């Protein structure tokens, strides 16, 4: 049986994962309107990935005998100055998610909930990958000042991204 405090924090994280998904879908929409369809595709896959993360946690709470209580999600930002600002926002957001996952791991350790510590390890690894991917794209965007032929090439490369669903929890 899952401990109530762990259940509460996982429920909060489920909401935050859905909010992340909503943010990335908003970014995808914005990028489509400025004809960066490769980056729009990239963000749409981020949206799908965040939904998968939320559902992975959802399934875990239920598997441990807990109850998922879905809460309202906040409206995401809709406008950005440029592609560099979008990826700076994305990096800042992912770093916040990493802090939150680390908080939950520390709580699970404090509560001696080894199953949850083990479950959250996948998310720790995922966050390392998420931050590294965004940092790489942001570095490349800054090299080309987010403009010109380089932006066109990066946009085409972003369109090649595929979604690999996570393994079952």
CATH number at residue 145: 1.20.1260.10
Q: What is the pLDDT of residue 144?
A: 97
Classify residue 27: in a domain, yes or no: yes
Domain-embedded: residue 24: yes
Dihedral of alpha carbons 110, 113, 114, 120, sign: negative
Structural domain contains residue 114: yes
The 10s digit of each residue's pLDDT in 71-127 is 999 999 999 999 999 999 999 999 999 999 999 999 999 999 999 999 999 999 999
HEC-encoded secondary structure of the chain:
CCCHHHHHHHHHHHHHHHHHHHHHHHHHHHHHHCCCHHHHHHHHHHHHHHHHHHHHHHHHHHHCCCCCCCCCCCCCCCCCCCHHHHHHHHHHHHHHHHHHHHHHHHHHHHCCCHHHHHHHHHHHHHHHHHHHHHHHHHHHHHHCCCCHHHHHHHHHHHCCCCCCCCCCC
* 153 within some domain: yes
Q: Is residue 9 situated within a structural domain? A: yes
The pair of three-digit structure tokens given for residue 162, joined into one six-digit string: 């595929």
Number of structural domains, the chain?
Answer: 1
Residue 163 covered by a domain: no
Domain range enclosing 56: 4-72+81-158
**What's the pLDDT at 167?**
74
Interval 11-52: pLDDT, tens? 999 999 999 999 999 999 999 999 999 999 999 999 999 999
């Amino acid at each position: 049986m899952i401990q109530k405090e762990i259940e509460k924090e996982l429920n909060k994280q489920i909401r935050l994962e859905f909010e992340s998904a909503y943010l990335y879908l908003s970014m995808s929409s914005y990028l489509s309107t400025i004809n960066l369809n490769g980056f729009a595709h990239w963000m749409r896959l981020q949206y799908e990935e965040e939904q998968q993360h939320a559902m992975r946690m959802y399934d875990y709470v239920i598997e441990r005998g807990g109850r998922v209580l879905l809460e309202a999600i906040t409206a995401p930002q809709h406008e950005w100055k440029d592609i560099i600002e979008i990826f700076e926002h994305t990096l800042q957001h992912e770093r916040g998610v990493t802090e939150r996952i680390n908080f939950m791991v520390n709580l699970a350790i404090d509560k001696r909930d080894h199953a949850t510590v083990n479950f959250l390890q996948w998310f720790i690894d995922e966050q390392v990958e998420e931050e590294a991917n965004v940092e790489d794209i942001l570095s490349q965007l800054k090299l080309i000042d987010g403009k010109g032929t380089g932006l066109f090439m990066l946009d085409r490369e972003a369109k090649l991204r595929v979604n690999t669903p996570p393994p079952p929890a």
